[in-house]
Structure 1
Amino acid sequence: MTATVTRHAPPPDRFDRRLLSPMMLGAILNPINSSIIAVALVPIATSLGAPASETAWLVSALYLATSIGQPLIGRLVDTFGPRRLFLAGALLTTIAGVVGVLAPNLGFLIAARVILGFGTCAGYPAAMYLIRSEAKRTGMRSPAGVLTALSVTTQTIAVVGPTLGGLLIQVGGWRATFAVNIPLGAAALVLGLLFLPKTTALDTERPPRGRLDLLGIALFAATLVALLLFLMDIRMTTLWLLALAALLGAGFALWELRRPDPFIDVRVFAGNIPLLVTYARSVLAATVSYCYLYGFTQWLEGGRGLSPSGAGLVLLPTFGVGIVVASVFGRRPEIRWKLLLGSLTQVVMAVLLLLVGDGAPVFALLGIAVVIGIPQGLVNLAIQNTLYYQADPERIGASAGLLRTFMYLGAMLASSATGAFFGQRADTPGLHELAWFMLAAAGLFLLITVFDRSLRRVDREATGGGASETR
C-alpha cells in the first residue's frame, strides 16, 4: 500500500503526529550507533586479533562519514525534500547492518561503519525540515513539544548506547551491535514510506534546483578529512594536516563565495555571528559529553574492572535523568538558563571525576552518572532550539546538518584526548588528566554562554516577545 493511499489530510492547526514515528526513529539511528560501539571495541579486538589503534577506526570511520555527510545530506534535503533522502538513508543503514554481521575482517567492519555513517545522516536534517514545515503549515510559533521529543530521541538516547551494546554483546556477541541496524533500518524504511509526505509546506520556499556544487562538496569533504585526521592523532609531526585543512578551508570559502548556488552559503554564516557561536558551543558541549561517554566508560572497564554490561548499566542513570530533565523542562521556551545550568553542571561533573579513585564505590559512580544526566537533557535541547531560531529557514536542513558536523568535531576532540591521556590502559591517572581537559572545555562553554547577549533575543522570540534579531 502506498503512502498516497494511507495518508489523510493532516489537521490544519496541529502538528501532524503521524510524522513523529519516522522522524524520531530516523533521528536516533546516528547517535545510537555513535555510542553503541564503545563497549564493543575490546571484544572486536579480541575476536579479530586487532590492536586498539586499528579498532579505533571503527569510531573514527563513522565520525568522518557523518561529519561530511550531515551537511551534504542536509543540503540535499533542502533541495529535494526530506522523503527521498530519508528513505535512501534507511536503506543504507539496513545494508550496513548486513555488511557488519557478515564481515570477515576489520576492513569490512570499517566499511560497514562508513556506510552506516552516511546512511544515518538523513534522519536529523529531515526531522528539522519537517518541524519547520509543520510550523509554517499550522502557524505554530514555537513547536517546543516536538523539538523536545526530538532532543530526547537524539542526544539523550545516545547515552543508552553502551548499555544496549553491553546487553547485545552478552546475548549475541559483538556482531549483534551491527545486526541491530537491520530491523531499525527496515522499520525506518517502512515508516518513511507510509507517513512521510511527498510535498511539504516549505516547497514554495525551496530554492530552484540547480547543478550540485560538486567542487564545493569535494573541498568541504577534504577539509574535514584533513582536520579530523589531525584531531585523531595530535602531534607535532601531524601539524601539516592542520595546515592542509586551513588551506583547503580557505579554498572552499573562496569557491563558495563565487557560486550563485553554493553547497554552503558562507555569506549567511559570516553575517550570522550568533549562529557561529552556537556551533562553537556545540563543539565544546560535545567534547565534554563524549569524553564522559568514551573516557569514563573505558575507565569503568579498564580502571575500575567492570564488565561491558556492568559499565553500560552504570551509565544508565545518565540516560534516565536526561529523559526526565528534557521532558520536564523541554516545553519551557526559554533557552539561556538551560545553557547556563547545563554548562555549570558539566563543570561540576568534571570536578567530581577528579575525585574518583580505583576503589570508588558503585553508588558514587552512579551519582556521577546522575549529575551528567542534567546537562545531557538540557544542553543539546537548548542548542537545537537556538539553531531553530537562528538558522535561515530556506537552509534549515543544511544548518541542522552542520550542527551535527560541529558536534562530531567535539567528539573527535574527545576521542583524541581520551587516546592521549589513557595511552595503553584506561587507568585512574589518565582519567584525572582527561577530567582537567573536560573542565577546561566546560569552563569555556560556560563563559561564552554568560557573555552571549544574543541568547536574550532568542529567548524573546521563543517566548513570543519580539521578532528575531539574530538573523
Structure 2
Amino acid sequence: MTAAVRPPRARLGALLGVVGFLAFVEFTSGVLQGYYTPMLTDIARNLGVHDADVNWLEGSQLMLSALVVPIFAKLGDMVGHKRMLLVSTALTAAASLALPFTDSFAVFLAAWALQGFYVVWLPLEIALIWSRSRATGAGALLTARAAGLLVAALEAGAISGALIGGALIDALPLWIVLLIPAIAVVACFFVILLGVTESPDLHGGRFDTTGVVLLTLALLAFTGGLSVLRLDAGIFAWLLTAGGLALLWPFAVWERRTPDPLIDVRTFADPALWPVFLTAGLFGVSVLGAQAPLSTFARTDPAVYGYGLGTTGFATSLIIGLYLVAMIVGALSYPVAARLGTPRRALIGASMLVGVGYLMFLPFHDAYGQLVTNMAIAGLGSGALVAALPAAAAAAAPARATGQATGLTNGVKTVGGAIASCVFGIALLNGAQGAAEGTAGSFAGYVTVWIVCGLTGLAAAAALVLVPRNAFTDRAAGAVEVAGPAGTAS
C-alpha cells in the first residue's frame, strides 16, 4: 500500500493530537447544552420573570445560530478555521462570564444569545480536520472517525453537564453555578490556542458583505416570524415568516452572481451535496424539535389525561440520558458502518433508524420501557447523523468551500429545528385541555410529533438513495479536487 493511502505515523500522530484537543472543546460544548436545563426555573426566579419567558432564551440563540454559522464557516475558509474557532470561543466565553453577574433579563437574554456562538465549533472543527487529513489519501475515512469521536465527546459532555448542573444548583448559589461553565469555555480558548494548529490551506478572497446583509434580513424575518407564531399565529407572524422566505430569492440571485459568495448556492445542485443538506434540514426536525415534547409526554399524568407516563423528573432525565448514550454509540459506530459498507449506505441506515424509532411511538407509547426502546433506536441513528453529515459534506465539497459545506449542514439543521419547534408548539396546543406536570399538550399533538419525525427520517433516507454510490469516499473526494460542485472548476 502506498504512502498516499497509508499516511506516515508522524502525520497521523499529529492529527490524533489535534482531535484530542478538539474533543475537549466538544465536551465543553456538550456541557453548555446540558448544564443549564435543570436550573432554568431558578434562572427565571433570579431574573424575576415567568417560566414561559425562558422560551425567549431558546429563540434568541436559535436566531443567532442560524446567522453566524454560514458567516463563520466562510471566514474559516478565507482566513483560517482555527482563527475563527478562537474568535467564536472568545465570544462564547465573554457571554458565559456575563451570565453569573446580571439580574437583568434583557442583559441575560443578550448574553445567552451571544453564548450561542458555540454552534460554529463542530463545523469549523470538521473543516479543520478535513483540511489536515485530505493530503493523507484517507481523508474521508479519518474525518469520519474524528467526527464520531467529537460527537461522542459532545454527547458525553451533555450528559455530564446535566448531571453536574442538577447536583450543583441544589448546593451552591446560582451565580457560582453559572460561573463554572464559563471557566470551562475560557479553558477551551487556551486549549485551542496552544494545542491546535491552523488549516494548511487558506483560500483568502473578499468577504461578501452584501450577502451577509441579505441573509441576515432573511433569517431574522424567518426565525423571528416563527418565534411570534408560537405565541400568536396572527397575520403579522405569517407575513413576517413569508417575508423571510421571500428574501432568500434575492440572496440566491446575488450569491450566483458574485465571484466570492458567502454561500456557494451551486452546491445545492451538486448530486452528492444537496441530499446531505436536505437530510440535515429533515434531521433537524427531530433532533432539535422533538426532545421537549417527548419529555413533556413522559411527565404527563395518565390518570388525568388518559395518556403519558406520569414519570418523575429523575425518571424523565434517565430517558434523555439513555437517548444521549445511544447517540454516543451511533456516532462511534458510523465510521465502522461506513468502512464495512459505504458512507452513503451508513447515512441511509442512520436516517431509517431515526424514522423507525419515532414511528414506533404510534403503537408503543404506554410503558416506560417502550419509550426507552423507541428513543434508543432513534438515538443510534441521530448520533450517526450528527457525526456523519458534516464529515460527508466536507468529503464532497471542493477544498475552497469545506467550511461552507460543513457549516451549511448545521445551519440547515437549525432552520429545520426552528420550523419543527413552531409546528409542534401549535400542534400540542391544539385541543389541549389543561396542564399537568408542566405540559398542556394534546394527545393528537404528540401523535403529530411522532408522525412528522418518523416521516422526515424516512424522507431523508429516500433522498440519500439518490446520492452517487461512491460519494463521501476518498476516491470521490479526490475527484472533487479536479471538478467542483455541479462540474465547475475548483
Q: TM-score, normalised by structure 1?
A: 0.84
Cα shift at 1:70: 0.9
Alignment of 1:297-336 (within 5 A): 297-301=295-299, 303=301, 304=309, 306=311, 308-333=313-338, 334-336=342-344
Judge conservation of contact 1:29–1:123 (CA < 8 Å) in 2: no
Cα shift at 1:396: 1.0
Partner of 2:357: 349
Compute the RMSD of aligned alpha carbons.
3.2
CA 1:165/1:345 → structure 2, altered by over 3 Å: closer, same or farther?
farther
What is the SS of the residue equivalent to 2:259?
Answer: coil
Cα shift at 1:50: 2.2
Partner of 1:3: none
CA distance in 2, matches of 1:412, 1:19: 33
1:376 corresponds, among 363, 377, 382, to 382
Partner of 1:6: none
CA 1:88/1:444 → structure 2, altered by over 3 Å: closer, same or farther?
closer
Cα shift at 1:308: 4.4
Judge conservation of contact 2:15–2:133 (CA < 8 Å) in 1: no
Cα shift at 1:202: 1.8
CA distance in 2, matches of 1:252, 1:56: 30
Judge conservation of contact 1:34–1:59 (CA < 8 Å) in 2: no
Q: After TM superposition, which residue ranges in structure 1, 4 or more long, deviate above 6 angstroms?
A: 463-466
Judge conservation of contact 1:22–1:191 (CA < 8 Å) in 2: yes
Identity of aligned residues (%): 19
Judge conservation of contact 1:216–1:262 (CA < 8 Å) in 2: yes
Comparing 360-369 with 140-149, greater Cα deviation is found at 360-369
Alignment of 1:18-417 (within 5 A): 18-30=17-29, 32-118=31-117, 120-141=118-139, 142-143=141-142, 144-154=144-154, 158=158, 162-163=162-163, 165-172=165-172, 178-197=178-197, 199-203=198-202, 206=203, 208-210=204-206, 212-234=207-229, 235-237=233-235, 238-266=237-265, 268-301=266-299, 303=301, 304=309, 306=311, 308-333=313-338, 334-354=342-362, 361-417=367-423
CA distance in 1, matches of 2:424, 2:216: 25
Unaligned runs of 5+ in 1: 1-8
Cα shift at 1:341: 3.0
Partner of 1:434: 446
What is the SS of the residue equivalent to 1:332?
Answer: helix
What is the SS of the residue equivalent to 1:50?
Answer: coil
2:461 corresponds, among 432, 449, 458, to 449
How many residues of Structure 1 are paired with residues of Structure 2 in the alignment? 454
Judge conservation of contact 1:422–1:430 (CA < 8 Å) in 2: yes
Partner of 1:4: none
Judge conservation of contact 1:295–1:431 (CA < 8 Å) in 2: no
Q: 1:381-422, CA deviations, whole angstroms, 9 ceiling, x for partnerless residues?
A: 332332122222211112212211111112212322343234
Judge conservation of contact 1:323–1:377 (CA < 8 Å) in 2: yes
Judge conservation of contact 2:351–2:457 (CA < 8 Å) in 1: yes
Q: 1:62-96, CA deviations, whole angstroms, 9 ceiling, x for partnerless residues?
A: 11111111111111111111232222222222222
Q: Bigger relative contact order, structure 1 or 2, given CA contacts below 8 A and separation 6+?
A: 1
Letter in 2 for 1:342: A
What is the SS of the residue equivalent to 2:10?
Answer: coil
CA distance in 2, matches of 1:218, 1:460: 33
Letter in 2 for 1:186: V
CA distance in 2, matches of 1:465, 1:257: 24
Judge conservation of contact 1:283–1:409 (CA < 8 Å) in 2: yes
Structure 2 residue 445 is matched with structure 1 residue 421: no
CA distance in 1, matches of 2:382, 2:174: 27
Q: TM-score, normalised by structure 2?
A: 0.82
Partner of 1:5: none
Judge conservation of contact 1:90–1:189 (CA < 8 Å) in 2: yes
Letter in 1 for 2:448: W
Unaligned runs of 5+ in 2: 1-7, 302-308, 486-490
Comparing 125-134 with 171-180, greater Cα deviation is found at 171-180
CA distance in 2, matches of 1:126, 1:174: 32
Cα shift at 1:177: 6.6
Q: 1:9-54, CA deviations, whole angstroms, 9 ceiling, x for partnerless residues?
A: 9923555222123322334555553454444433433444423442
